[in-house]
A and B are shown apart, each in its own frame.
Chain A
Amino acid sequence: QKEVEQNSGPLSVPEGAIASLNCTYSDRGSQSFFWYRQYSGKSPELIMFIYSNGDKEDGRFTAQLNKASQYVSLLIRDSQPSDSATYLCAVKPNNAGNMLTFGGGTRLMVKP
């Protein structure tokens, strides 16, 4: 079983819709969760991080964390074609020092 799992996609949504990206993780003791966006040919850039159960909002982005169910999600409201990218979920496992474990990424396509 992979430590961090994501649906590879592609997830296709129309412009203006809500895109929902999901991620599950295996280490129940994980404390920190991150969402990165990676455009083709570019390095990942941090969008959001979340530590506590519940929702965390930043502009059009909302991260949701449910530690009991071991999943974290990212909602993108009013999706734009510029949001088309691969979204990587990353987890800092409990006993992993400070390095991150990444999921395989979900490719999002926002169609005009």
Chain B
Amino acid sequence: SAVISQKPSRDICQRGTSLTIQCQVDSQVTMMFWYRQQPGQSLTLIATANQGSEATYESGFVIDKFPISRPNLTFSTLTVSNMSPEDSSIYLCSVGWGSAGYTFGSGTRLTVV
């Protein structure tokens, strides 16, 4: 399975600012996803990061708030824009291997104050 390096691991940010989270995979992967896990909750898919095209966003998530880049098959970024305390969550990138073996990065714990 792939090894994913995600950074930063945590950050405390002021409201109104933006944070970019990076995800680097040690091999080329077609499928890369960004999830959010709010405190005490399960994982919610934000978007699928598509290489060479715009990300596909799930209901309730928009590009202006969560812009995503996927310049190649090993790297993606998620930006949380114009942050508010409600954005305080853990953000996780994930890569998939066909029908099996979905692996997660170590997560970014974001606190907005």
Chain A interface residues (CB < 8 Å from chain B): 31-32, 34, 41-46, 49, 51, 88, 90, 92, 97-105
For B103, list chain A residues within 8 Å (CB). Answer: 46
For A88, list chain B residues within 8 Å (CB). Answer: 42-43
Least distance between A97 CB and chain B CB atoms (Å): 7
Least distance between B86 CB and chain A CB atoms (Å): 19
Q: What's the Cα separation between A44 and B33 when bound, in Å? A: 14
Question: Is B8 part of the binding interface, using a Cβ–Cβ cutoff of 8 Å?
Answer: no
Question: Is B75 part of the binding interface, using a Cβ–Cβ cutoff of 8 Å?
Answer: no
For A41, list chain B residues within 8 Å (CB). Answer: 109
A34 B102 Cβ-Cβ under 8 A: yes
Q: What's the Cα separation between A93 and B94 when bound, in Å? A: 17
30 contacts between A and B (CB under 8 A): A31-B99, A32-B100, A41-B109, A42-B106, A43-B90, A43-B104, A43-B107, A44-B43, A44-B104, A45-B104, A46-B101, A46-B102, A46-B103, A49-B99, A49-B101, A97-B31, A97-B56, A98-B31, A98-B48, A98-B98, A99-B31, A99-B48, A99-B96, A100-B33, A100-B94, A100-B96, A101-B45, A102-B42, A102-B44, A103-B42
